Amino acid sequence: MAAISNIDRGLFIAFLFASGWIFAIMGALNYINETYSLLFAGLFWSTTVIILIWNRVKNYEMNRLSMQSDWNEFEDDSETEYTSLPNPSEFELDIPL
């Protein structure tokens, strides 16, 4: 599936979605058994949804990883040192905590 381009993937998703409707209509008109019609329509529609979600996740990861790699380039420029806060008991203040 990685070799399929975005245009071909869109056509494949549209084909799966339309095939689900074709099986649903064929089952409603009693051309095929309603049980098989429901199974095939559900299989095609769920496959379509899974592929769409998978594409969205891949696009999100590509955008997120590119932003993260850009941030890593700037991270090396400025190194800041963090020091812990002083202990208040060292100053011998009469403030109850």
Residue 60: is its pLDDT beyond 60?
yes
The DSSP 8-state label assigned to residue 31 in this structure reads S
Query: What pLDDT shows up at residue 20?
Result: 93
CA distance 38 to 19: 12
For the residues 2-21, what does the mean pLDDT come to?
80
Structural contact between residues 50 and 70, judged by C-beta atoms closer than 8 angstroms: no
Q: What is the pLDDT of residues 30-49, one digit of tens each?
A: 899 999 999 999 999 999 99
Q: What is the pLDDT of residues 73-85, one digit of tens each?
A: 555 555 567 777 7
Query: What pLDDT shows up at residue 69?
Result: 57
CA distance 50 to 71: 31
pTM for this model (two decimals): 0.58
